[in-house]
């Protein structure tokens, strides 16, 4: 590449994070072990081997479960504000390691270094949020219909929380779940993506420091690197009270079904097919920026990436021309180089899916106004760098109805806002959505019960990204789960209604008499 990886200090960052050439893919918060197969992690940035990880086998999994069960018995007894102190210290450690961890995220996953740093900042932010929340795990008090009785609700921890995360956010999604799970009194088992295992090991190394410094038991935070066999065990294990799964709708449907069959709980964060509506009243200067960043950021590998632009017919040609000009300025290359906007796709399989989607779009009648393709040459040795592209399509195309996890943007026309909203909603997914308009009435309609059917609906900002203070998640085939802020902490607890009789009599319901 134009600059060697050594120029960006990646080797030093790996060392600082405790990543070596050979790593154990199981940690119970202090003890590192694994007895499964060897997993190699290659960087999509330059195609080079970063490190090897010994994965878990089923016996390793059973040991992790037993360690977590023992830790839970002790951890749930610790007052919530004290558990918040653990999370506060973890947030401080993340600040110390922010540059190193952000660099590893960028190198192992392929997103830009700026986005890698942003992902670690999300971890810090959720820790700050959870610390405050640890003193606010409140219930409700209500009046009883019976004299001399008091009623209230309270929340208790669930037990073991299983987290199965995806490659595109290899560290942040884990933190969204685990910071809240911990302050609620749960312990966690994390299965990071097999495509970014070293990011998982680095995070576990950081929290292990905090656990040791506070003399807390192993098993509060456990990590297990493994294949689908380990994932299946987690999903079907009655010891795991809740499964938080991030991934495809196809796999999520299996996860949700299997967890429900054992009456467990699940949080499903699945596919997105996100649209921005450009009305005739849109401020195009800011709207184009939002659309381009949403479409090409993380090389289109966000669940909130902008997939579709629904553009009013009166401004369609103008918007199209502006997009073509903007795409001509995108710099593609080494994501550690902050001069570049777009890095590689995660692997060759993703590249092939990108190419297949382009061909399918063309066969259905899509007209590419910005052509795609795989980049070649000395700066793209890994073979994972592709061109962000734009296709003029109809919303009804089969390829448009599917989530394309790549930088392919579909653009289409509309006449009335009602038509645009119907197009926006006329896909199986329901994660993120946006409208660009300076008309208050249009904005309010979009946010009303007659508007977007997505879990996230924005006005004059794009579809990608979300603040940790709000609940994150979607509807329909996106799964219906919620993570991060708002009152999401309740997902990680069981709800209990309590009634206290402080009289010397026992009145029965409906005035029934039962004298002995």
Clarify whether 269 is annotated catalytic: yes
pLDDT per residue as tens digits for the range 21-76 = 999 999 997 889 999 999 999 999 999 999 999 999 999 999 999 999 999 999 99
Q: What percent of the chain has pLDDT over 70?
A: 97
Q: Is the pLDDT of residue 291 over 70?
A: yes
- The residue-averaged pLDDT of 149-153 equals 96
Which structure tokens are listed for 361? Answer: 């779009």
Q: How sure is the predictor about 7, in pLDDT bands with cuts at 50, 70 and 90?
A: low
Domain 5-270+479-495 homologous superfamily, CATH: Aldehyde Dehydrogenase; Chain A, domain 1 (3.40.605.10)
Per the residue annotation, which of 108, 194, 269, 483 is the catalytic one?
269
pLDDT computed for residue 506 by the predictor: 87
CATH 3.40.309.10 fits 274-467, yes or no: yes
The Cα angle at residue 75 between residues 33 and 198, in degrees rounded to 5: 35
Beta bridge partners of 150: 143, 500
Domain with CATH 3.40.309.10 in the chain: 274-467
pLDDT per residue as tens digits for the range 462-510 = 999 789 999 999 999 999 999 999 999 999 999 999 999 999 988 777 7
Q: What share of the chain is helix, strand, coil (3-state, %, to 5)?
A: 40, 20, 40
Q: Is the pLDDT of residue 2 over 70?
A: no
Q: How sure is the predictor about 158, in pLDDT bands with cuts at 50, 70 and 90?
A: very high
Domain with CATH 3.40.605.10 in the chain: 5-270+479-495
pLDDT per residue as tens digits for the range 114-125 = 999 999 999 999
Q: Is the pLDDT of residue 293 over 50?
A: yes
- The residue-averaged pLDDT of 256-260 equals 98
Q: What is the DSSP string of 381-427?
A: TTS--B--EEEE--TTSHHHHS---SSEEEEEEESSHHHHHHHHH-S
Beta strand 38-42 with 49-54 is: antiparallel
Q: Is the pLDDT of residue 516 over 70?
A: no
Q: Is the pLDDT of residue 1 over 70?
A: no
Nearest to 104 by CA among 1, 208, 3, 202: 202
Q: Is the pLDDT of residue 89 over 90?
A: yes
- CA–CA gap between residue 502 and residue 499 (Å, rounded): 10
- The residue-averaged pLDDT of 75-93 equals 98
pLDDT per residue as tens digits for the range 330-353 = 999 999 999 999 999 999 999 999
pLDDT per residue as tens digits for the range 385-415 = 999 999 999 999 999 999 989 999 999 999 9
Q: Is the pLDDT of residue 215 over 60?
A: yes
Tell me what the pLDDT averaged over the chain comes to: 96
- The residue-averaged pLDDT of 442-467 equals 96
Beta bridge partners of 353: none
């Amino acid at each position: 590449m134009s600059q060697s990886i050594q120029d960006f200090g990646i080797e030093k960052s790996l060392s600082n994070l405790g990543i070596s050439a050979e790593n154990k893919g199981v940690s119970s918060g202090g003890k590192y072990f694994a007895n499964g197969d060897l997993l190699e992690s290659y960087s999509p940035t330059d195609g080079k081997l970063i490190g090897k990880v010994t994965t878990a086998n089923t016996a390793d999994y059973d040991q992790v479960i037993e360690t977590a069960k023992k830790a839970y018995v002790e951890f749930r007894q610790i007052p919530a504000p004290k558990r918040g102190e653990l999370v506060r210290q973890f947030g401080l450690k993340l600040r110390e390691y922010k540059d190193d961890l952000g660099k590893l995220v960028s190198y192992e996953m392929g997103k830009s270094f700026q986005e890698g740093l942003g992902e670690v900042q999300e971890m810090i932010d959720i820790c700050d949020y959870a610390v405050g929340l640890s003193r606010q795990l409140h219930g409700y008090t209500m009046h009883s219909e019976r004299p001399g009785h008091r009623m209230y609700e309270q929340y208790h921890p669930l037990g073991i929380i299983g987290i199965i995360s995806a490659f595109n956010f290899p560290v942040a999604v884990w933190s969204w779940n685990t910071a809240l799970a911990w302050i609620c009194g749960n312990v966690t088992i994390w299965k990071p993506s097999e495509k970014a295992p070293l990011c998982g090991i680095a995070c576990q190394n950081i929290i292990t420091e905090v656990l040791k410094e506070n003399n807390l038991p192993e098993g509060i935070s456990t990590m297990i690197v493994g294949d689908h066999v380990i994932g299946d065990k987690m999903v079907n294990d009655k010891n795991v009270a809740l499964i938080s799964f991030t991934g495809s709708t196809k796999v999520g449907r299996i996860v949700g079904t299997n967890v429900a069959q054992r009456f467990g709980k699940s949080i499903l964060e699945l596919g997105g097919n996100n649209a921005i509506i450009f009305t005739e009243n849109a401020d195009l200067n800011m709207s184009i920026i939002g659309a381009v960043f949403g479409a090409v950021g993380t090389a289109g590998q966000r669940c909130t990436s902008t997939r579709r632009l629904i553009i009013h017919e009166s401004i369609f040609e103008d918007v199209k021309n502006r997009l073509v000009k903007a795409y001509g300025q995108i710099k593609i290359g080494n994501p550690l180089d902050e001069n570049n906007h777009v890095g590689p796709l995660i692997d060759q399989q993703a590249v092939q899916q990108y190419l297949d989607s382009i061909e399918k779009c063309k066969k259905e009648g899509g007209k590419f106004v910005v052509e795609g393709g795989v980049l070649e040459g000395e700066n793209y040795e890994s073979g994972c760098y592709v061109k962000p592209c734009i296709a003029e399509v109809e919303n009804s195309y089969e390829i448009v109805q599917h989530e394309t996890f790549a930088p392919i943007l579909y653009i289409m026309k509309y006449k009335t806002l009602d038509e645009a909203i119907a197009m926006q909603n006329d896909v199986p997914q329901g994660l993120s959505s946006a409208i660009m308009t300076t008309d208050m009435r249009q904005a309010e309609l979009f946010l009303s019960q007659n508007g977007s059917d997505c879990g996230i609906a924005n006005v004059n900002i794009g579809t990608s990204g979300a603040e940790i203070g709000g609940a994150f998640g979607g509807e329909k085939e996106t799964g219906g789960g919620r993570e991060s802020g708002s009152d999401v902490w309740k997902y990680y607890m069981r709800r209990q209604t309590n009634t206290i009789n402080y009289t010397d009599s026992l009145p029965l319901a409906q005035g029934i008499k039962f004298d002995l």
